[in-house]
């Protein structure tokens, strides 16, 4: 689930857009941006009110997660500072609703004093981590553990005794609800460097943080509680597109359109060694509602056989006019591949440069100089990215943004969390809780979809974001054979390609309100 919208008590259901600013649903802000905004809000809010608001929303989601609180055993892992305070105050509300609450204080002398006093008045059990036996029993015997260990300012892996207690919960199969973010996971980069919380549910406050999109599998289901930051937030560090966003952006032909006005995309891909790249990328472009697809390359016969509707020629120079090109999958990095890339760049239209095209651009300074400031999207995986922009490192968003600014193009950095950055700094992150798209040939399908959207006139950042979203949708559909409740089975790229129309139908359905 990603992230849910509010009902009467919190976030769940489809009514979010009428309750909270739309930007809150799809914006992502750094820890520094959140801290600065909270500081402004705290000046305008009675003391303690903001924490109580956050804790109340947290308690709502814990109750909903458990189904009932009466008689349920809930253990709080309480660190120092406000994150621990949120957990303590949520424990107060849960205890008042019949839960059997135990707080394990990881830093007894630095626990939030007001929250701790209130929890004592609610007759909760208070333990310290200095007494490891009872603390471990409280964790392993709970119906749920609240992770209030560290907040957005925390850095590095879990320290002892928190690491041992979290490991005990994992071993016992006790679900962990992360307060704001999973402790031990970096809030701005989503990286993990040692013991960290694996949450089943994360309840975050005010706005999404990078961790929620970069480390979605660590967060589990993400729920957002409004604490009033919305009107005060600056421009988001990054954005997330949902089905509605993508469905509204997806080009659909109108009554006056023809095959040319819908967008004609050229595909320069594949070779005698890699004919599959040609079939996958060209076919994906045809399935992505492109008005017309022109193919150029030595795999033309293979493309014609599989896709008779595609106009296939042997060279880029022989292809007719197009509004965009996809170039690179399987073309090779020798002189022949260079000639293909140079011919595409000479067309002076929007380009998706993938795979071998990225490597060629990294090696050929003269070609690289021709792309700056053009409507071009590079789609590297981490290895290709390193060739053209240096190692990705732990900060994927920062790396993509720096590369886009330096190269003067849009960069789509592939990965479990796909990061798309424009040369102007605008950024989209597509989070994923699975790896169904991590299969050979999957990137060829993505490049074909992206080329079709560029040809239809979408600006590069939006085109790349929509392509990544539909591509991931198609991968999930292929893995589950259209049944989202069925166990997933890794599917080949050809099966992913076949699901592209269904993925588009689903996002269009969301946009139409059906």
Which residue range is the domain that position 508 belongs to?
A: 243-512
Q: What is the pLDDT of residue 489?
A: 87
3-state secondary structure of 309: coil
Sign of the alpha-carbon torsion through 498, 503, 506, 507: negative
Coil, helix or strand for 377? strand
Is 313 found in the same domain as 174?
no
* Domain contains 358: yes
Question: At which residue do the structure tokens 């421009």 appear?
Answer: 235
**Residues 302, 210 share a domain:** no
Do 77 and 151 lie in one domain? The reply is yes
Count of positions (residues) in the chain: 514
Render pLDDT for 451-470 as a digit per residue (tens, 0 to 9): 999 999 999 999 999 999 99
Alpha helices, DSSP H, located in 351-459? 356-363, 365-369, 382-389, 396-407, 442-455
Domain identity same for 33 and 171: yes
Partner residues linked to 354 by β-bridges: 379
Whether 38 and 153 map to the same domain: the answer is yes
Residue 220 within a domain: yes
Identify the sign of the CA torsion 351, 353, 358, 364: negative
Question: Residue 7: inside a domain, yes or no?
Answer: no
pLDDT for 6 equals 31
- Residues of the chain falling short of pLDDT 50: 1-24
What predicted TM-score, i.e. pTM, was given to this entire model? 0.92
Q: Is the domain of 289 the same as that of 200?
A: no
CATH no. for residue 259?
Answer: 3.40.1190.20
pLDDT of residue 221: 95
- Check residue 53 and give its pLDDT: 95
Within-domain flag for 324: yes
Q: What is the CATH number of the domain that holds 131?
A: 3.40.50.10260
355 lies in the same domain as 302: yes
Burial of 491 (0-12, 13-18, 19+ CB in 10 A): buried
- Comparing CA positions, the residue from 405, 385, 407 lying closest to residue 396 is 385
Is residue 1 in a domain? no
The answer to whether residue 482 sits within a structural domain is: yes
Residue 6 within any structural domain of the chain: no
d(CA 445, CA 441): 7
User: What pLDDT does residue 25 have?
Assistant: 52
3 occurs within a structural domain: no
Give the bridge partners for 126, in sequence order: 103
| pLDDT in the model for residue 255 | 86
Contact 204, 181 (CB under 8 A): yes
Residue that has been written with the tokens 């490049």 in this structure:
447
Judge contact between 464 and 380, C-beta under 8 A.
Answer: no
Full strand arrangement of the beta sheet holding 221-225: 125-128, 100-105, 73-78, 144-148, 176-179, 201-205, 221-225
Residues 226 and 368 in one domain: no
Q: Are 332 and 273 in contact (CB under 8 A)?
A: yes
Provide CB contacts within 8 A for 276, sequence distance 6+.
270, 330, 441, 444
The answer to whether 116 and 94 are in contact (CB under 8 A) is no
User: Last residue of some domain: 212, 236, 260?
Assistant: 236
User: How many domains are there within the chain?
Assistant: 2
Same domain, 225 and 248: no
- CB neighbourhood size of 49 (10 A): 14
Q: Is the same domain home to 386 and 451?
A: yes
Which residues, 6+ apart, have CB-to-CB distance to 110 below 8 Å?
80, 81
Instruction: Look at residue 23 in the predicted model and tell me its pLDDT.
Output: 44
d(CA 128, CA 104): 5
Are 93 and 119 within 8 A, CB to CB?
Answer: no
**Token pair of 281, please?**
């990328």
182 and 120 share one domain: yes
Q: Are residues 227 and 248 in the same domain?
A: no
pLDDT in tens, 337-348: 999 999 999 999
Q: State the residue for tokens 């014609």.
A: 304
Q: Which of 187, 204, 236 is the last residue of a domain?
A: 236
- What percent of the chain is helix, strand and coil (3-state, nearest 5)? 45, 15, 40
Domain stop point among 181, 206, 236: 236
Closest CA to 196 of 210, 212, 185: 185
């Amino acid at each position: 689930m990603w992230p849910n919208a509010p009902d009467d008590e919190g976030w769940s259901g489809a009514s979010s857009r009428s309750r909270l600013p739309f930007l809150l649903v799809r914006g992502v802000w750094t820890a520094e941006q959140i801290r600065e905004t909270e500081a402004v809000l705290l000046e305008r809010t009675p003391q303690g009110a903001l924490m109580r608001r956050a804790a109340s929303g947290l308690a709502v989601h814990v109750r909903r997660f458990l189904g009932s609180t009466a008689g349920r055993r809930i253990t709080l892992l309480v660190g120092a500072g406000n994150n621990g305070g949120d957990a303590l105050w949520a424990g107060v509300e849960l205890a008042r609703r019949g839960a059997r609450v135990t707080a394990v204080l990881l830093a007894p002398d630095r626990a939030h004093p007001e929250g701790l006093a209130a929890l004592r008045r609610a007759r909760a059990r208070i333990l310290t981590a200095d007494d490891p036996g009872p603390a471990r029993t409280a964790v392993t015997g709970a119906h749920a553990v609240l992770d209030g260990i560290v907040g957005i300012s925390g850095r590095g892996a879990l320290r002892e005794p928190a690491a041992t207690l979290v490991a005990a919960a994992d071993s016992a199969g006790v679900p962990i609800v992360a307060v704001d973010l999973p402790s031990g996971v970096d809030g701005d980069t989503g990286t993990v460097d040692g013991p960290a919380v694996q949450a089943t549910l994360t309840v975050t406050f005010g706005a999404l943080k990078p961790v929620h999109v970069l480390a979605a599998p660590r967060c589990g289901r993400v729920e957002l509680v409004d604490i009033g930051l919305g009107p005060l937030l600056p421009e988001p560090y990054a954005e997330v597109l949902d089905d509605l966003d993508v469905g509204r952006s997806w080009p659909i032909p109108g009554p006056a359109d023809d095959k040319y006005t819908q967008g004609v995309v050229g595909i320069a891909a594949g070779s005698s060694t890699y004919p599959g790249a040609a079939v996958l990328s060209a076919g994906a472009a045809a399935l992505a509602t492109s008005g017309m697809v022109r193919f150029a390359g030595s795999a033309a016969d293979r493309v014609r056989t599989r896709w008779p509707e595609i106009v296939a020629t042997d060279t880029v120079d022989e292809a007719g006019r197009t509004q965009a090109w996809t170039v690179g999958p399987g073309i090779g990095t020798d002189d022949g591949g260079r000639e293909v890339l140079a011919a595409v760049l000479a067309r002076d239209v929007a380009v998706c440069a993938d795979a071998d095209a990225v490597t060629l651009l990294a090696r050929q300074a003269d070609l690289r100089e021709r792309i700056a400031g053009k409507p071009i999207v590079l789609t590297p995986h981490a290895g290709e990215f390193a060739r053209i922009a240096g190692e990705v490192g732990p900060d994927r968003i920062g790396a993509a943004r720096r590369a886009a600014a330096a190269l003067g193009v849009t960069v789509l950095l592939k990965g479990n969390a796909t990061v798309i950055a424009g040369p102007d700094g605008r950024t989209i992150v597509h989070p994923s809780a699975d790896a169904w798209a991590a299969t050979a040939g999957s990137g060829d399908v993505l490049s074909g979809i992206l080329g079709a959207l560029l040809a239809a006139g979408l600006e590069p950042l939006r085109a790349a974001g929509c392509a990544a979203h539909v591509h991931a949708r198609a991968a999930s559909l292929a893995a589950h054979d259209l049944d989202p409740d069925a166990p997933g089975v890794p599917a080949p790229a050809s099966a992913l390609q076949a699901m592209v129309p269904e993925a588009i139908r689903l996002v269009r359905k969301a946009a139409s309100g059906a």
